[in-house]
Amino acid sequence: FCSTVIMLGVLSRVASGTMHALVGGGTAMPVRTLTTRKETIMRLAKGFRGRSKNCWRLARDRVEKALQYAYVSRRLKKRDARKLWIMQISAGAKEHQMRYSELMHGVQL
């Protein structure tokens, strides 16, 4: 939960858009507007089913869980890529009558 709160604190500072303000001699300079934490959560909850996209408490809980799933899934994605990579290298090694471990040992020498 603590890491999610830190994440949400960072997300609350994300700029929502650009407005123009007249500065000095009348030139229009872009001014960033900061979004509130609630706006950020509701924007992240867009596309959720049922009341999870409209109700603040449900949206907050669902977004927090979604961020946890996203964190875990990034690591699972790397794990799956590594497994696939090892299988492909192993298949290539078997074409040359070698085992994966022998090939890796030879690479390290």
7-15: average pLDDT: 46
Cα distance between residue 78 and residue 82, in whole Å: 6
pLDDT digits (tens, 9 = 90+) for 34-80: 778 999 999 999 999 999 999 999 999 999 999 999 999 999 999 99
What integer pLDDT is reported at residue 16 of this predicted model?
47
Contacts of the segment 46-49: beta carbons below 8 A, 24+ positions apart: none
What integer pLDDT is reported at residue 35 of this predicted model?
79
DSSP string, 5-68: HHHHHHHTTSEEEEEEEEETTTEEEEEEEEPPHHHHHHHHTTT-SGGGGT-HHHHHHHHHHHHH
